[in-house]
Amino acid sequence: MKFAIKHEIRNRLRIHLPMHNLTFREADTLEYYLKSFPEIRDVKVYERTADAVFFYECDRAKAIGILKDFSFDKVDVPDKVFEYSGRELSAQYYDKIVTTVILHYGKRLILPMDIRRIICVFKTARYVLRGLKSLKNRQLRVELLDAIAILAAVLTGDYKTASNVMFLLNIGDTLEEWTHKRSVDDLARRMSLNIDKVWLVTDSGEIQIDSSSVKCGDHVIVRMGNMIPFDGEVTSGEAMVNQASMTGESAAVRKSIGMSVFAGTVIEEGEITICVTQTEGSGRFDKIVKMIEESEKLKSSLESQAERLADRLVPYTLAASGLTWLISRNVTKAVSVLMVDYSCALKMAMPLSVLSAIREAADYDITVKGGRFLEAVAEADTIVLDKTGTITKAQPTVVRVVSFCNESEDELLRQAACLEEHFPHSVARAVVDAAESKGLLHDELHTTVEYIVAHGIASEIENERAVIGSYHFVFEDEGVIIPSDKKEQFDSLPDEYSHLYFAKNGRLSAVILIEDPMREEVKYVVERLRSQGFEHIVMMTGDSERTAKKIASEAGITEFYAEVLPEDKAGYIERAKAEGRKVIMVGDGINDSPALSASDAGIAISEGAEIARQIADITISSADLNSLVTLREISTLLMKRIRFNYRTIVGFNTALIALGVAGILPPGTSAMLHNGSTVALGLKSMTDLLPAD
């Protein structure tokens, strides 16, 4: 690709492509290409000027080489990149604001005064109708106050003030709509369906295929803990389905033969086969957007309080204006009070602050489903961390398979992988990956598999009951025995690994040793969380006491609980909340779901089980636990911003009212200062909370 370097500093280049502008698709293609290289840290493509700015962490020559190798025709960009891009939306709103500004000031230079007055009166009618609609609904809201203020300015002949007020209100409404739509759309896209593989039912059994290959009429099997990939009708089985992403219902709904199921919902319990009726998810994105917009989850309690206060202040503003006129008999002073209100600024700045924070969190691969959860994170004093897949790496590996029968280690691994491949857990993936790395084919050997949350899997292999899972499940619940001549071998198993037990026909067949090392950043993250005000940092795991103690010690965690069940995690959180503590839970598995639901804010790891991500209020990237530190920082700074906005709005507007009543500020000046400060505060609320790197 040909390009020109417009500006350059250390590890940063601004380039210009030899064209007047880029299409939205071309801009997205270039940005996708550059971001695909780990050496490129950050990219911004400007489609209007055909410029691109990017930061690189490699030799300058390599960065230049990456650019030279680029070609629009050679980059294979996934369709979802274009579908999820907000570039066109931002351009539309940018054009809308620029057009509004040009028209407002341009008409003063071109149109005569009489024409401008007619236009002003015509525009006033729209605001008056909005105010009357508020009265019709028996509500005294900010729309009524705006209508009276604008109408009063027109009736007193102050057309310039009326025009300026309407202009600033229009700009404010556009900014709020832009930020709201951008934030909600981004959140909805991150909540949207993203399933690569599905289990297709064929005449010869189940096969795993790409979801893009599925057609209407195909039969797909979905098991506990997994997301339903398509709209369809249940043809066999029965399940309890969590439909919160579609309907907002918290309780799972029973689904059986003949009933419809929807893409993106999650099976909490059971197993079903569905006949696919629509592969595109039946407008799932639009449904999610509607659910988010109607959900009170978007509002933090501080935001809700501010909005309620804004509406409650409207009658007092009207009364103050009337009282001013009764005392002074001065219309100008009364109108000055009307020109200033708390409601407009409160209703604009608070939602913008929250939605902007949600958008900023998304830039760090943190998906927050509502403002109230940011507030919960900011106020939390207790954080509960699951061990496997959270504190430890999300990619455990099989170190060794120890045989306790006359079958080979490879054969036992093959059978274990056959059972584990159906379930979304990091340990299950480790077993499947180990079999694949050895080239062990594990075609369906078993009958129907049964998944017991936080315990293991049960099925039949060659007419023998086969179980795989935890010590508690295999030896205590299933009553499996260890061959008498193998007890010494069993007792000598190394302690530094997690143990996965595989048994057939009531006898131990194998122990799979799993290496699940702690994430490198955990110790630092724990220290940072403690310095950020978390008084209780707790680790919980279903693993053994010795393994839990070792990991907790390495992580710097003093409070930990081993061999816990899902209900134990949720029980701890409920007790902590009863003591008056604010608790957040971080987990990635099906067994973490009750605790995620019970906490004030549940945080799921992005590559964890679908049901955990669905139930969780926040999702963070699996790559780095430093996201928890970033999330806490954003949440704390958001609460500070909301409180600052509140104090600024109340203080500044009170001063304007006082100056208007005193006759120092005329209505036009009051209106300009009030609406100008509202827009300025709104723009400030849209800025990032965290400082740029």
Find all residues with CB under 8 Å of 665, minimum gap 6, and list them.
336, 656, 659, 673
Q: What is the pLDDT of residue 576?
A: 94
Cα(542)–Cα(516) distance, integer angstroms: 14
Residues 182 and 302 grouped into a single domain: yes
Considering its fold, how many domains does the chain have in total?
5
More confident residue, 227 or 690: 690
Query: Which of 251, 280, 309 is where one domain is finished?
Result: 280
Each residue of 282-308: pLDDT tens digit?
Answer: 445 555 555 555 544 455 566 666 666
Q: Got the DSSP string for 395-422?
A: --EEEEEEE-SSS-HHHHHHHHHHHHTT
Q: Which residue type is seen at 306?
A: A
Q: Give the phi and the psi of residue 53 in degrees, each rounded to 5.
A: -120, 130
Residues 410 and 505 grouped into a single domain: yes
More confident residue, 62 or 198: 62
CATH classification at residue 506: 3.40.1110.10
Residues 36 and 184 grouped into a single domain: no
On whether the CB atoms of residues 595 and 566 are closer than 8 A, the answer is: yes
Q: What is the pLDDT of residue 14?
A: 92
More confident residue, 21 or 389: 21
- Domain around 571: 366-392+519-622
Q: What is the pTM of this model?
A: 0.71
On whether the CB atoms of residues 257 and 234 are closer than 8 A, the answer is: yes
Each residue of 495-543: pLDDT tens digit?
Answer: 778 889 999 989 999 999 988 788 889 999 999 999 999 999 999 987 7
CATH classification at residue 566: 3.40.50.1000
What's the mean pLDDT in 136-156?
78
Query: Which of 236, 253, 280 is where one domain is finished?
Result: 280
628 in a domain, yes or no? no
Cα(67)–Cα(85) distance, integer angstroms: 22
Residues 140 and 263 grouped into a single domain: no
SS3 at position 149: helix
Residues 581 and 641 grouped into a single domain: no
Q: What is the pLDDT of residue 193?
A: 53
Question: What percent of the chain lies above the pLDDT cut of 70?
Answer: 86
693 in a domain, yes or no? no
Cα(122)–Cα(128) distance, integer angstroms: 10
Question: What percent of the chain lies above the pLDDT cut of 90?
Answer: 21
149 in a domain, yes or no? yes
Query: Which of 487, 515, 543 is where one domain is finished?
Result: 515
**Tokens describing residue 431:** 């077993």
More confident residue, 303 or 467: 467
Q: For residue 657, name the pLDDT band (cuts at 50, 70, 90).
A: confident
On whether the CB atoms of residues 523 and 551 are closer than 8 A, the answer is: no
More confident residue, 307 or 178: 178
Q: Is the confidence at residue 182, as pLDDT, over 80? A: no
Helices (H) and strands (E) in the chain, counts: 24, 24
476 in a domain, yes or no? yes
Average pLDDT of the chain, as a whole number: 82
Residues 505 and 567 grouped into a single domain: no
Residues 582 and 646 grouped into a single domain: no
217 in a domain, yes or no? yes
Residues 75 and 96 grouped into a single domain: no
Each residue of 574-628: pLDDT tens digit?
Answer: 999 999 999 999 988 777 878 888 899 999 887 766 677 777 889 887 778 899 9
CATH classification at residue 254: 2.70.150.10
Give the alpha-carbon dihedral of 415, 420, 422, 428, to 10 degrees: -150
How many beta carbons lie within 10 A of that of residue 676, not counting itself?
13
Cα(543)–Cα(500) distance, integer angstroms: 10
Q: What is residue 331's DSSP assignment?
A: H
SS3 at position 614: helix
Q: What is the pLDDT of residue 527?
A: 95
Where b means 16+ CB within 10 Å and e means fewer, 332-346 reads bbbbbbbbbbbbbbb
On whether the CB atoms of residues 682 and 352 are closer than 8 A, the answer is: yes
Q: For residue 484, name the pLDDT band (cuts at 50, 70, 90).
A: confident
Q: List residues bridging with 585 in a β-sheet.
A: 384, 602
What's the mean pLDDT in 478-487?
90
SS3 at position 264: coil
Helical pair 87-110 and 113-136, crossing angle rounded to 10 deg: 130
Residues 454 and 377 grouped into a single domain: no
326 in a domain, yes or no? yes
Cα(249)–Cα(231) distance, integer angstroms: 18
Residues 614 and 643 grouped into a single domain: no
Q: What is the pLDDT of residue 333?
A: 76
**Tokens describing residue 603:** 């945080």
On whether the CB atoms of residues 389 and 543 are closer than 8 A, the answer is: no
Residue entry with tokens 């493509």: 45
**Tokens describing residue 508:** 């131990």
690 in a domain, yes or no? no
Where b means 16+ CB within 10 Å and e means fewer, 297-325 reads bbbbebbeebbebbbebbeebbebbeebb
Question: Which segments within 130-212 are labelled E, that is strand?
Answer: 197-202, 205-210
100 in a domain, yes or no? yes
Q: 421, exposed or middle or buried, with CB in 10 Å at 0-12, 13-18, 19+?
A: buried
Residues 69 and 96 grouped into a single domain: no
What's the mean pLDDT in 245-260?
73
More confident residue, 312 or 635: 635
Residues 183 and 305 grouped into a single domain: yes
